[in-house]
Amino acid sequence: MIQMINTRLMTIDDIEQVLDVENNSFALPWSENAFRKEMKENDLALYVVIEENGRVVGYAGLWVIGHEGHITNVAVHPQFRKKGYGDLLIDRLLCEGEKKGINAYTLEVRVSNRPAQKLYEKYGFKSVGIRPKYYEDNKEDAMIMWK
Ligand SMILES: CC(C)(COP(=O)(O)OP(=O)(O)OC[C@H]1O[C@@H](n2cnc3c(N)ncnc32)[C@H](O)[C@@H]1OP(=O)(O)O)[C@@H](O)C(=O)NCCC(=O)NCCS
């Protein structure tokens, strides 16, 4: 079957499908309300989604803080991983960030999360330090990365 793949900016109508991705991706998922706030109230928020045959199967977002992009989340639904969609999401996010004048990006990632670290490294992110016990659930350290 031919797959139709599309990336675009996220809207409030995507929240239901994004929540499905979110709840299947994170130990501490964001709530529906958190996404609503991002879409409706946070002028700094920039989010993109990826669709396969019209279904939202991944999303990524950042906050535009001056010329810096603070990446909040990147996730692909488990059933749709390892198909290059994480790559496409980062590509689109960085492209949208560039339009906003962003010239540096940062994020935190669990020290145990090699798949995500490898994805970010592929795009030039480098580890610059650790935030000890950053994650509430298991007190895991966060790796701080910058590009
Ligand atoms: C990280 C994540 C977004 C990757 O999405 P994906 O669609 O599977 O990624 P892609 O297929 O586009 O792969 C892109 C790159 O990511 C890295 N990668 C992805 N899965 C990997 C794995 N299981 N092991 C190692 N590297 C991996 C590789 O560098 C890969 O590039 P390559 O195929 O050229 O080697 C996905 O695993 C996910 O949603 N994880 C749970 C949520 C999460 O941890 N998000 C990050 C929070 S900071």
Catalytic sites, residue numbers: 108, 120
Distance 119 CA to ligand 1 centre (A): 5
Task: Locate the ligand 1 atom nearest the alpha carbon of residue 119 and give its number.
Answer: 16
| Axis crossing angle, helix 85-99 with helix 114-122, rounded to the nearest 10 | 50
Task: Locate the ligand 1 atom nearest the alpha carbon of residue 75 and give its number.
Answer: 39
Residue 50's contacts (CB-CB under 8 Å, 6 or more residues apart) are 5, 6, 7, 56, 57, 58, 59, 76, 85, 88, 89, 92
| Domains of the chain, first to last | 5-106 (3.40.630.30)
Write down the pLDDT at residue 3.
86
Among protein residues, the one whose CA lies closest to atom 21 of ligand 1? 115
Distance 86 CA to ligand 1 centre (A): 6
Asked if residue 1 has pLDDT above 80, the reply is: no
Write down the pLDDT at residue 34.
98
Kindly report, residue by residue over 81-92, the tens digit of the pLDDT. 999 999 999 999
pTM, full prediction: 0.97
User: Among positive and negative, which fits the CA dihedral 140, 113, 101, 34?
Assistant: negative
Asked if residue 93 has pLDDT above 90, the reply is: yes
Task: Locate the ligand 1 atom nearest the alpha carbon of residue 116 and give its number.
Answer: 1
What are phi and psi for residue 56, nearest 5 degrees?
-75, 120
Q: What is the DSSP letter of 78?
A: G
C-beta neighbour count of 102 within 10 angstroms: 20
Write down the pLDDT at residue 75.
98
Distance 39 CA to ligand 1 centre (A): 25
